[in-house]
Amino acid sequence: MSSLNKIIIIGRLTHDPEIKVTTNGSNMVNMTVAVDRPSQSDFSDTDFINVVGWRETADSAQGLSKGQMVLVIGRINTRSYETNEGTRKYVTEIDARQIKTVSGSGMAAMDNLPEAATLNPAAGLESMPGSNDSASNFDFGSASDELSDDVQEDVPF
């Protein structure tokens, strides 16, 4: 059986992206995206999601700054490491494949996306207001191509 690990988030940068060059000369970016999660109270909860990107994805983050609304497409990555004190630490982050700026705020930015994009990540976007370039450059892939016929019947979109 196939599996799918793909995530799409829209939120605001909590700080300027940290772009570094690794010892082998590859660019990498670390950033945190604040994503509002609607709640039943008058206040929404906010998730602070760590994002890492490599090479061309890191290059695309240059020029971004704290407070900008961004769309991140990638996959969830969980890793662990041992500290100098011998304690095991676990990290969950998005391994970004694409990072783009988006105009609008919160759910208003989602409202600007075509319905097909919000319901089916395999659908291509024709345009996205406020992006640096055409959103048709987004590679959502085809989730239905990756799933067997048996699994496709269970997928809610």
Grouping H, G, I as helix, E, B as strand and the rest as coil, residue 57 is helix
Q: What is the pLDDT of residues 11-42, one digit of tens each?
A: 999 999 999 999 999 999 999 999 998 777 77
DSSP string, 135-152: GGG-----HHHHS-HHHH
Residue 5 reports pLDDT greater than 80? yes
CATH of the domain at 78: 2.40.50.140
- Would residue 140 count as lying in a domain? no
Reference 70, options 27, 9, 17, 123; nearest CA is 9
- Would residue 14 count as lying in a domain? yes
Report CA 68 to chain centroid distance, whole Å. Answer: 14
- Would residue 125 count as lying in a domain? no
Mean pLDDT of the chain: 75
Say what percent of the chain tops pLDDT 90: 52
- Would residue 143 count as lying in a domain? no
94 and 52 Cβ atoms separated by less than 8 Å? yes
Q: Which two tokens stand for residue 81?
A: 């490491």
Q: How deeply is 68 buried, as exposed, middle or buried, from its count of CB atoms within 10 A (0-12, 13-18, 19+)?
A: middle
Q: How many CB atoms lie within 10 A of CB 6?
A: 15
Domain range holding 99? Answer: 7-112
| pTM recorded for the entire structure | 0.64
The number of residues in the chain equals 157
Q: What is the pLDDT of residues 74-117, one digit of tens each?
A: 999 999 999 999 999 999 999 999 999 997 654 555 555 544 34
116 and 126 Cβ atoms separated by less than 8 Å? no
Residue 128 reports pLDDT greater than 90? no
Grouping H, G, I as helix, E, B as strand and the rest as coil, residue 60 is helix
Q: How far apart are CA 44 and CA 35, in angstroms?
A: 10
- Would residue 149 count as lying in a domain? no
What value does the mean pLDDT take over residues 136-149?
A: 41
What value does the mean pLDDT take over residues 63-77?
A: 94
**In sequence order, what are the beta bridge partners of 9?**
72
Q: Which two tokens stand for residue 154?
A: 């269970």
- Would residue 123 count as lying in a domain? no
Domain count, the chain: 1
- Would residue 133 count as lying in a domain? no
